[in-house]
Amino acid sequence: KEEESLVNWKENLGLGKEKVSRLHFFFHDILSGKNPTAVRIAQAAMTKTSPTLFGVVNMADDPLTEGPEPTSKLVGRAQGFYASAGQQEVCLLMAMSYSFTEGKYKGSSL
């Protein structure tokens, strides 16, 4: 009986039924030009010679848009940082907050 309650622990929390939402938006990470939305804030001594840019850390405030074009309707922002964490293969460590400012999920964040 105790083993069964451990397996079904989530049902005992009273959280209700899970709901699935399908989000569809485009994330624009712009690193160059007059108005970049992501900037390098740190790098390791070896970053410039690394094929994966190992050790680089970027801070971002990226637009989320309805369509693939950067000029498409803005629906929110992705704010946070990402870093190159792999020396031999491309591997990113990302910590981002997604805040929605328009549409069905206006006022929501992930």
Residue pair 76/64 in contact by the 8 Å Cβ criterion: yes
Per domain, the residue ranges of the chain are 20-100
Give the chain's mean pLDDT: 92
Tell me what pLDDT residue 100 has: 98
Residues 6+ apart with CB under 8 A from 82: 57, 58, 60, 92, 93, 94, 95, 96
Residue pair 58/78 in contact by the 8 Å Cβ criterion: no
Q: Is the pTM of this model over 0.85?
A: no
- The string of pLDDT tens digits covering residues 37-87 is 999 999 999 999 999 999 999 999 999 999 999 999 999 999 999 999 999
